[in-house]
Structures are given as structure tokens and as C-alpha cells.
Amino acid sequence: MAKRTTKQTPVTIDPKPETETVDQTPEPSTVSGDYSRLTEFDIYLFRAGKHTRLYEKLGSHVVEVDGVVGTYFAVWAPSARYVAVIGNFNGWNKGSHPLKVRWDSSGIWEAFVPHIGRGEIYKYAITHDSGRELEKGDPFALWWETPPKTGSVVWDNWYEWKDDYWMRNRGKINALNKPISVYELHLNSWRRDPSEPTRQLSYNEVADALVPYIKELGFTHVEFMPVMEHPYDPSWGYQITGYFAPTSRFGTPQDFMNMIERLHQENIGVYLDWVPSHFPGDAHGLYEFDGSHLYEHPDMRKGYHPDWKSYIFNYGRNEVRAFLLSNALFWLDRFHADGLRVDAVASMLYLDYSRNHGEWEPNVFGGRENLEAISLFKELNEAVYKDFPEVQMIAEESTAFPGVTRPTYTGGLGFGMKWMMGWMNDTLRYFQRDSYYRRWHQDELTFSTVYAFSENFMLPFSHDEVVYGKKALISKMPGDEWQRFANLRLLFTYMFTHPGTKLLFMGCEFGQTSEWKFDGSLDWHLLDYAPHQGMKECMKALNRLYRSEPALYEQSFVAEGFEWIDTTDRENSMIVYARKGTRTKEQVVIVLNMTPIPRTDYRIGVPAAGTWAELFNSDDRAFFGSGLLNSQPLVSEPQEWQGRQASIVLTVPPLGAVVLKYQNNEA
């Protein structure tokens, strides 16, 4: 892939962050409505809902017109009878700099304002046909004031990227037949300044700590919870007002680009959480943008989300579809994101989501599916994979909606991966049980393979599982302290050897003991204690195992990559299975002991006769385990067991997992 250099404007603007205002009180005559970045073809695509690069056209753009540097403003407000740009440069006087509505009935207002440069704060003063007056931020603003301030900022996305190697090779690294192990984090609460715990770190400060930490742990990707500008911290970023701007809480857009670049330089991919499902009703945001239901559906049975008290995009309106398509491609294009995790997909797919009888209207066929959202997903994924075939689109979809990760030409939605919510719920339910009772609930673990290959699944232990009274993962585990940590190591080993890619929320890797707090740091001091340091070492070893063994990732989404060896030893709560790569010799066997009773001289059938060596043992002393290992190679015997012609005898530690690899073909 050729080097990508994103440049928004045809002139070079001094990158210093200070406001560039030449004339603080320009006259109305200095506003020009003759310059436009929009062509007739742009308008056609916009009105057809097919424009995927609106961020190059709408919003604010510093340009040079007839030798004069200024800013071009363009905003969609079809129900407005008057629109003006206001800011410090004109004393927030709505009569000073009016925009001109286009002649083509597109509803776009535009103007070039000279002597307005990078760093200028602005809003749009909008008067609805009814006379109602509003002040709105720019839906396409590239940067915003830091909340609680609500102004948009004239900015650009100019950045000299230095991640050429990653961008040329990410198609191979980011592929579905490669290991994908994702570390999910929330920028505001991953780490704070130890000397000043209330101070948020900047993008650059986070990068200083995050990049070496992810490299040490061995995760292949990070996933940032929403970084788009949002007014309310407790929303965790899921109530967005600035869809085209990383939040200014931590620095400039270029600072965020630099963080991504530094991760790429260490061969670490970056996924971004993306929220096309809803937006808040803040006065400066998208809600009733021009005085009408412009971005949200006008029927509140489709336009209002009862769970989140927010508003739902009108997926059937072409211009709104173009807004969402452009926004998705914007983060892939301008910020070199390697994929988008699409939030709350189920809420978009179903008209009756979180609604009682009588609170929703069936589709034209009498069904509950939102046909407009379904068509949008198909169009979105086709557009993304056409322009960025080496990225991943990941659906957070919590139902059994068919074909989420199947190609659109077969009727699927076209995503690359889908969160395996059923696996997560069943697995956590099982592990929370006292080990004595697990013998009666083995099906909670084995059931996942009934549907594991129906989609391209990602196994998530996300932020949703450690908030609102659900407790931290380590606190869900039964038993005393040693057993809780052994159970968590066992859980993670099961996760990393089960078919599917992986996602783990920050803090879980070292056994964070308290629930996640969005407004405070993780408890990094816990790493001073052996159980937590051991958990971190275990996670490092699991990532090494996952990345080094093709059997664990080459065939994650097909049944040929998995084989049950034994699920019948319920009395001892033992489970044995195999993972297989594309080559016969690339296979591993996993043995799980779900009780605190060590199993010595335990016989299992193996897929092939020969020598098997222990690759990983969750009971290693380095992990705070008891050190009950299989230090010597295990040579198979010609004794039929569990339907296999050959078998081996090994030791399985208490609440432990053993991973064995086939060495040769000698009996």
C-alpha cells in the first residue's frame, strides 16, 4: 500500500495552536458565498446517501481564495430560514456573517470567511422556519472546545504519518487467520498522574506508558472506547456530539494520531469504538439540529432510545446515511484506524429493542427487523472493505441475528467479526459456581461449540462485565484468594484456547479487584503483590502461546480447527479438547481441571501417537501457582482411550489448565 498523507487544505497553515484572527470585527461584506468545495456530483451523492467523504466537503476548512486565506464553512440545515457563523471573531453576533443557502435544494448553507484561521472557536446560529433560534456546534468539526465548553474549533487533519511499514503489512497482520488479541481501554481511566490522581494524562503521556505496556503484555491490538468528542464523562464516550473529532480532553487530533502511529510502529493495531446507534439531546449537538428532526427519526418509536434516553439516527434518510458512512471511513482514512467495533448493533437491528408491546411499529412485512438499519450495515461494510480491505469491522451484536459476519452477496451484514456474547455469559456463569457444583453444569462450557462456527466470533470480557455491581472478574471467582486467582488463570487459558479472537478489558490482565471507575485510575499498586504480578505474567505467557501456535488461530472460525476429546468426565469436572492448524503437525491438546483437586496419573486420548510436550501450565509458580507441572515429555502408549488409538498419562494441577503440543510421529 502506498504511503498515506492526509492533507485537508490546499495551503500550508502554521500548526501552532493559537487562534489566528486577523480582523476581530469583519464587516458582513467580507463574507463570500461564491466559493464552494461542493460539486454537482457531491450533491448528487449526498442526496442519494452514497457520499462517503463528506468530511472533505462539509464543516470548516481553511483555504485560500483569490490570494486570501480564510475558512470555508458548510452545514446541512434544510429546515432553516437563516444560518450564520458566530464566534469570538465577530463577538458572537449572528447578524455579522450569514451563510448562503445553495440553489440546488440540498439544504446546505455555505460561505467563505476571510482572515479566519486554525484555532478559531465557532458555532452556527440557526433560525428555523418557525422562528425558533438555536446555536449549534458543527457536526463535521475536526476539533472542539474541552467540555463543559461546547464550541467547535477550526482545525485540520494534516499529519506526516510515519507508520508506512505497518500500513503496507497490516493486511497480513490484521487478517482473520492471524492471532487477534485485543486490549480494550478507556483513555480517561486507564492511568492517571500518580502524583496528582485527579489529573487526566494527555494523549502523549498515555502513549508513553501504553505502548511499552501493550508490547510487554503481547496483545496484538488495542481498542479505545469512544474517543469522539462527548459532553458527559459518565457516558464513557457513548453519547457523542462531535463525531469527526477526537476529544480535546487529552490534546489535539494530531496528538491522537501520534499515539496511533506509535502503536503502529510497534506492530500493534488500533480498533476504535464507533457509535452509530444513538446520540444525546444536548442543545449544541445533533438533536433537532436545524429546529427539525434532522438527524434523528421523527417518529419517537424509532427515534428515541428508552434505555439510554438518547436519540436514534434516521437510517432511512439518505443524507443521514451519508453522514454515517462518511464518519466510519473518516476514522479509517484520516486516523489510520485498523478497524471499528460497532456499538449496540442489536439495538439498531430490531424495531422492538427495549420496547414494550404497542411502543413500536412493525416493518412493511410485519416483522420486527429494522430494514433501513440492515441495509445501512450492508452498505457500510461494502464501502469500508472496498476502500480499506485490510481492516476489520466488528459487531457488538448480542442476539442470534443470522449472517452478521457473512458476505452481503449471500444475504449477510458483511462484518468481519462479531462479539460472542452467549459464550461470555455461559462461561462467566459457570466459573462463578462453586467448584463442587460445576460437575452438573459442564454443558455451559460445551454448548458454545454448537454455534461457534456459525459466525466469525470474538470472545469478549469487556467493560460491561465489570461495572454496575457485576464486580471485577477476579471477584466473580469462587474460593479463597489462591483459588480465585487460579480460577481466573484457568478462565483466561480457556478463553485463549477456545476458537475465536480475544478481547480483554483493561485491569483484568492483573486481577483488578474493584469494579471499573470511569473517573479514576486502575489500581496499579496491586502489581506490588505476588498474586497480581503472577496474573500479569500469566497473561503475557498466554499471549505468547496464542501468537506462536498456529493451531490456536489459523482455523478459529471453522470446525476443522477444533475437536472435543472428552466432555464426559463430569464427576471430576475435567474437559479435554484439541485445536488444529492447517498443517497436520500443528495441533495442541488442552486439558482443564475445574476443581481444586489435583489429578495425577490422569489418562487422556490424543489425536496422534508420539511425544507430547507441555507448552503451558496455568499452575506455574511464576503465575502464583503451586508449580504442579509436567516437566518431562509425555510419550503416548498404544492404549485406546476416549475413542483414540493412543493415550498419555499426565498431571493436571488444581484449578489448572495444561496445554500440550504434538512433537513427532513416533509411537
**90 with 111, same domain?**
yes
273 and 134 in one domain? no
pLDDT at 31 over 80: no
pLDDT digits (tens, 9 = 90+) for 426-453: 999 999 999 999 999 999 999 999 999 9
- Owning domain of residue 412: 181-287+316-340+385-552
- pLDDT tens profile 447-486: 999 999 999 999 999 999 999 999 999 999 999 999 999 9
| Interval 69-99: pLDDT, tens | 999 999 999 999 999 999 999 999 999 999 9
**Which pLDDT tens digit goes with each residue over 550-592?**
999 999 999 999 999 999 999 999 999 999 999 988 999 999 9
CATH number, position 100? 2.60.40.10
Same domain for 548 and 570: no
Are 55 and 82 within one domain?
A: yes
pLDDT range class, residue 33, cuts 50, 70, 90: low
Whether residue 667 has pLDDT greater than 50: no
Q: From 525, 552, 579, give the residue that closes a domain.
A: 552
Q: Do residues 548 and 575 share a domain?
A: no
Instruction: Enter the C-alpha cell of residue 453.
Output: 462456527
Residue 637 lies in a domain: yes
Count of beta carbons in the 10 Å neighbourhood of residue 167: 17
Q: What's the domain count of the chain? A: 3
Q: Is residue 625 part of a domain?
A: yes
Q: Which of 42, 138, 288, 396 is catalytic?
A: 396
**Among 497, 525, 552, which residue terminates a domain?**
552
CATH number of the domain to which 188 belongs? 3.20.20.80
Would you call 343 a catalytic residue per the annotation?
yes
**CATH assignment at residue 633:** 2.60.40.1180
Residues 419 and 540 in one domain: yes
Residues of the chain above pLDDT 90, percent? 93
CA pseudo-torsion sign 353, 356, 361, 366: positive
- Taking the C-alpha atoms of residue 619 and residue 657, their distance in angstroms, rounded to an integer, is 7
Residues 136 and 185 placed together within one structural domain of the fold: no
Average pLDDT in the 648-666 region?
A: 90
Residue 14 lies in a domain: no
The whole-number pLDDT of residue 374 equals 98
Cα–Cα distance, 651 to 628 (Å, whole number): 7
Domain membership of residue 502 (yes or no) is: yes
6 pLDDT above the threshold of 50: no
pLDDT of 142: 98
Q: Does position 664 have pLDDT exceeding 90, yes or no?
A: no
Torsion of CA 551, 557, 559, 563, to 10 degrees: 40
Same domain, 395 and 538: yes
Among residues 343, 379, 444, 549, the one annotated as catalytic is 343
Residue 418 lies in a domain: yes
**What does the pLDDT look like over 217-242, one tens digit per residue?**
999 999 999 999 999 999 999 999 99
Is 491 found in the same domain as 615? no
* Residue 381: per-residue pLDDT: 98
Q: Look at residues 552, 571, 605 and tell me which one is the last residue of a structural domain.
A: 552
Q: Over range 113-128, report the average pLDDT.
A: 97
Residue 270 lies in a domain: yes
Q: Are residues 637 and 564 in the same domain?
A: yes
Tell me the pLDDT of the chain averaged across its residues.
93
Same domain (yes/no): 244, 325: yes
11 in a structural domain: no
pLDDT in tens, 333-382: 999 999 999 999 999 999 999 999 989 999 999 999 999 999 999 999 99
Whole-structure pTM value: 0.93
| Residue 351 belongs to some domain of the structure | no
Measured distance CA(432)–CA(661) in Å, rounded:
30
Which pLDDT value is given to residue 1? 36
Tell me whether strands 457-461 and 417-419 are parallel, antiparallel or unpaired: parallel
The predicted-structure confidence for 517-554, as pLDDT tens digits, reads as follows: 999 999 999 999 999 999 999 999 999 999 999 999 99
CA distance 35 to 107: 17
Q: What is the pLDDT of residues 307-326, one digit of tens each?
A: 999 999 999 999 999 999 99
44 and 135 housed in the same domain: yes
Q: How confident is the model at residue 507 (pLDDT cuts 50, 70, 90)?
A: very high
Can you tell me which residue has the cell 476539533?
143
Cβ atoms within 10 Å of 435's Cβ, excluding its own: 19
